[in-house]
Amino acid sequence: MAQKHMSAVKDFMDYVTARNPHEPEFLSAVREVAETVIPFIEENPKYKGKKIMERLVEPERVIMFRVPWVDDKGEIQVNRGYRVQFNSAIGPYKGGLRFHSTVNLSVLKFLGFEQIFKNSLTSLPMGGAKGGSDFSVRGKTEAEIMRFSQAFMQELFRHIGPDTDVPAGDIGVGGRELGYLFGMYKKLKNEFTGVLTGKGAAWGGSLIRPEATGYGVVYFAEAALNHMGKTIKGMEVAVSGFGNVSWGVVKKVNQLGGKVVTLSGPDGYIYDPDGVKGEKVDFMLRLRASNQDIIRPYAEKFGVEFFPGKKPWERKVDLAIPCAIQNEFDENDARMVVQNKVIGVVEGANMPLTHEAVQIIQENRLLYVPGKAANAGGVAVSGLEMSQNAMHLQWSAEEVDRRLKQIMENIHRNTLKYGMLPDGYVDYKKGANIAGFIKVADAMLAQGVV
């Protein structure tokens, strides 16, 4: 980076840090974008001097609310609810809800900020948002999850709507939770509308939405591998997590002839040399529904090795796809992956790699694809669900999958356009940030200072 650009990035980061001093996750998401987008702005008179980045880092609105509910023992519980409505320049606010113990304002601002660029990349008209609560489904009963979800929607409902803000799922919010959230919204508003995506197929949901995030990750990985003259067919893949994203990745890797040999939880990882396939894939869904948040039962049921407290990145594989949570993959993991001659790392989760890990991977010229490009298939099919809801019809699974594949290949082309470096290496981070930025920035400039 040129010296003048470096100091522009530093000045901007000092400004953002001073305004958001206690938000490390948010600051690191902003830094990832600023380092690639500020030099681009500096070189483009159209964007220079318009304070676009200063406007972008300020959410249009943050809603924080009390979520009181009664547990099975009759005790009153209090959680905190949030919706960060970050940017609506290119469409209604859109982004998931996360129910997890680590949720706080910084985490949701990081996710909402990422969502602006991700949604822009899909080419569909969706602004950026994120929400959730510090509630964890771990150890909760079905009835407790229902009461909490209802209590959460009792406040959120007045801030969302099919043309205003359309939430979906994320960690801890799957089909079950979305059902309870949708039921309460419908009761309060007396309206059956497409206010949430990821709905069940029988009540307004899109086919393939549950699979979409993971399928999209693998479509993107395949496009990037093809660009290198390779294919995922025959490859061994290390995956972390065992939730929605991992599940979709496993299914699509299998379909394309690859093999996923690891899954993980907060308790460690399993190594399955035969590959996660057949009934093992369905078992992932049962593990998720058990609300225990551990992977060990997989090893016990299928007689494979379990490595307590370890991460899958120590395995010698062809490709690594972290699908669990932010910052799960650090610089030591990056060094291990480089040493093991892994082809690259494709992010299934949102920012699973730390800043230092990304640097090491890219410096060593390994393939690196950021989540905002690779996992955009989830929100893309959410966008397709909104279209189907607006038209009051439902496309076939084949139709949705075909459109998803097309969207991911389109994102790949677009990121390639801005990410190709003079030495032929593709900086997908740079490509995704700039391609995502341009559409939002153009819309903001057109709409004036609002």
- Nearest CB to ligand 2IT, comparing residues 307 and 388: 388
Size of the site for ligand 2IT (CB under 6 A): 11
Judged by CB under 6 A, the residue of 39, 81, 210, 378 near ligand 2IT is: 378
Return all residues near 161 (Cβ < 8 A) that are at least 6 apart: 193, 195
Q: Is 249 in the site for ligand 2IT (CB under 6 A)?
A: no
- Nearest CB to ligand 2IT, comparing residues 327 and 382: 382
Q: Is 197 in the site for ligand 2IT (CB under 6 A)?
A: yes
Of the residues 130, 259, 429, 430, only one is catalytic, namely: 130
User: Quick check: is 429 catalytic?
Assistant: no
Q: Is 120 in the site for ligand 2IT (CB under 6 A)?
A: no
Q: Are 118 and 372 in contact (CB under 8 A)?
A: yes
CB of 10 to ligand 2IT, least distance (A): 29
Which part of the chain contacts ligand 2IT (CB under 6 A), choosing from 94-102, 137-145, 331-339, 355-363? Answer: 94-102
Q: Are 169 and 97 in contact (CB under 8 A)?
A: yes
CB of 247 to ligand 2IT, least distance (A): 14
Question: Tokens 């969207």 sit at which residue?
Answer: 407
* Site for ligand 2IT, residues 137 to 196, rule: CB under 6 A: 168, 170
Q: Is 34 in the site for ligand 2IT (CB under 6 A)?
A: no
Question: Tokens 């379909």 sit at which residue?
Answer: 255
Which part of the chain contacts ligand 2IT (CB under 6 A), choosing from 15-23, 29-37, 275-283, 378-386? Answer: 378-386
Taking the C-alpha atoms of residue 191 and residue 178, their distance in angstroms, rounded to an integer, is 16
- Nearest CB to ligand 2IT, comparing residues 108 and 434: 108
Burial of 93 (0-12, 13-18, 19+ CB in 10 A): buried
Q: Is 95 in the site for ligand 2IT (CB under 6 A)?
A: yes
How are strands ordered across the β-sheet holding 268-271?
Answer: 305-308, 268-271, 259-265, 236-239, 319-321, 344-346, 367-369
Residue nearest to ligand 2IT (CB): 96
H or E element in which residue 372 lies: helix 371-374
* Residue (of 58, 57, 88) closest to 444 by Cα position: 88
* Residue (of 29, 56, 27, 59) closest to 41 by Cα position: 56
CB of 186 to ligand 2IT, least distance (A): 19
Taking the C-alpha atoms of residue 295 and residue 290, their distance in angstroms, rounded to an integer, is 11
- The residues annotated with a catalytic role in the active site are 130
Q: Which residues bind ligand 2IT (CB under 6 A)?
A: 94-96, 118, 168, 170, 197, 350, 378-379, 382
